[in-house]
Chain A
Amino acid sequence: MILLLLPTALFFVAFFVLPMCRLFLVGGSGATGWAAYAAILTNDGYFKALLATLGIASATTLATLLISSIAGVFLQRHKFPGSATLVAMLTLPLAFPGVVIGFMVIMLAGRQGLIGAVSEALSGDRLVFAYSLAGLFMGYVYFSIPRTILTVMAATEKLDPRLEEAARSLGASSWRVVRDVIVPGLKPALISAGAICFATAVGAFGTAFTLATRINVLPMVIYTEFTLSANIAMAAALSFMLGAMTWLVLALARTAAGSTVAAAG
């Protein structure tokens, strides 16, 4: 029966394990040698990009969790005419690629975007923020909402409504029910969904690429090192560090949320 695993194992070793080892070696083969792996902390430019990346990833995670929990709990608890359609619409962008998400942000906040047109009509000033970190933030939130809502809805379904009734009958306010019953019940799902949001925002490239090449987040820096500067060793070292970071976040979340949590980013 183990023979059935053989093709997958060969494919995986040839096209993932070996290349990853090679990438690690290439990372140490540049002008600075193995110090390239420390450059993410020691080089001022890379360190700033790292901070920007972590900052935008944290902001995305918080915003997505907040928005998706409110909408997700609501949609799972209330069934009304049209609620199924609403869920379908909210989860439709689930598999849009990053480039398309970037274009959606341009449609909203770009030079010819809706937000610009509305703000110009209201105040005379054209509000355009698609081609900056704010636009990138918007894109990542857009990308993460559908999946997070699905996760929250699935977790809400498993909550026992009797706990909430008990809390209410003991005189708890709606706010306290949310804080002390619903949120703790959803915690594992929120941790795992949050980790995936975070990992996506750290590693994603398509959205930033569509919006502007001058946004200084790590994936863009890696891409510039590789193509414009042809500094392949540095690109390899940085992307290896980026990969390690994403993996670590997901692994930590899995430990924190228990073993049933999905493993992937």
Chain B
Amino acid sequence: MTKKRILFSLQLGFTLAVCAFLVVPVVLSILAGLTVNYFVGLESGLTLRWIFEVWDGYRDTIFRSVGIAMACLAVTLLLGVPTAYVLARSGNRLARLVEELLVLPIAMPGLATALALIATYGALGGFRSSWAFILVGHVLFTLPFMVRSVLAVLSAIDLKTLEEGAASLGAGFRQRFFHVVLPNCRNGILAGSLMVVTLSMGEFNMTWLLHTPLTKTLPVGLADAYASLRLEIGSAYTLVFFLMIVPLLLVMQTLARPRPSRFIRDDAVNDPVPEIQQ
């Protein structure tokens, strides 16, 4: 019994240490963003001055990132939900292949995708210098998450029977899609949407090459601030980023908890973890 207790304490201690490794720098950076002089320490007092400096200098990047994330969400919904529906309904080898292909942009390093886009469309000046160029990269990278998240829900329910039921009562395709399919994949759409927005707001690998001085996004601004400004401003900027992204992550965590749900097929496999590249 005592041996078991020792083992438990050791594991608990280890887990707490890992947790500290992840959380301590976040706390430090939040404090640094609110401290008058981080080098001196907290004794120098707390201030919102750095936050205001970030707001003055980088406000545009915040709005641009939110804008791009929303546009990205709209495009991935329009493209992703119908795609997931077709994949769920056909379920044959072709569907597997399409899924494989769609996932490729996540497996590709962002640098490679960005270089490829620049090599192909870099000469189109108007497109190259607009935020739509960044949007294209973000959609490529986030679309698989929307498709898979919706597909996971759709393949867990017995879609075919539900649709046959509706069709036998006289519902046309449009009616079935909007009144049977969409309501049933609501959770998948919600989870996918949160993922898409979070990833788009944080995307850096591609955006760093795709952006122009006039189309800086929040992470690009962060990299700028880290490289050239004092630690306090970098921290305050990071704090602003946390404030935008942590609520999304918390909602995502709540959604990820398993809920009982109807029409679950026995062989449904759920993918618990989204994969993201840095």
Interface residues, chain A, with chain B CB atoms under 8 Å away: 1-2, 4-5, 7-8, 11-12, 15-16, 18-20, 22-23, 26, 67, 70-71, 74-75, 78, 86, 88-108, 112, 114, 142-143, 145-147, 150-151, 154, 174, 196, 199-200, 202-207, 209-210, 219, 222-223, 226, 232, 235-236, 239-240, 242-243, 246-247, 250, 260, 262-265
A19 near B253 with CB under 8 A, answer no
1-47 of chain B: CB within 8 A of chain A: 7-8, 11-12, 14-16, 18-19, 21-26, 28-29, 32, 38-39
A206 near B219 with CB under 8 A, answer yes
B276 near A147 with CB under 8 A, answer yes
- Residues of chain A within 8 A of B204, CB atoms compared: 97-99, 205-206, 209
B218-241 contact mask (Cβ, 8 Å, vs A): 1 or 0: 010011001100010011001001
A16-B104, A142-B22, A263-B99 known; A219 and B109 CB under 8 Å?
Answer: yes
- Whether B113 is near chain A, meaning CB under 8 Å from some CB there, is yes
- Tell me what chain A mostly uses at the interface: helix, strand, loop, or mixed: helix
A97 near B203 with CB under 8 A, answer yes
The residue on A at minimum CB distance from B81 is: A4
Number of interface residues of B (CB under 8 A): 89
- Whether B198 is near chain A, meaning CB under 8 Å from some CB there, is yes
Give chain A nearest CB distance to B113 CB in angstroms: 7
B111 near A8 with CB under 8 A, answer no
B219 near A107 with CB under 8 A, answer no
B86 near A2 with CB under 8 A, answer yes
A102-B226, A143-B278, A150-B273 known; A90 and B18 CB under 8 Å?
Answer: yes
A146 near B109 with CB under 8 A, answer no
Q: Point out which of B14, B143, B273, B276 has the most chain A C-beta atoms below 10 A from its C-beta.
A: B273
- Residues of chain B within 8 A of A78, CB atoms compared: 8, 11-12
- Whether B85 is near chain A, meaning CB under 8 Å from some CB there, is yes
B109 near A103 with CB under 8 A, answer no
- Residues of chain A within 8 A of B86, CB atoms compared: 1-2, 4-5
60-100 of chain B: CB within 8 A of chain A: 78-80, 82-83, 85-86, 89-90, 98-100
A1 near B89 with CB under 8 A, answer yes
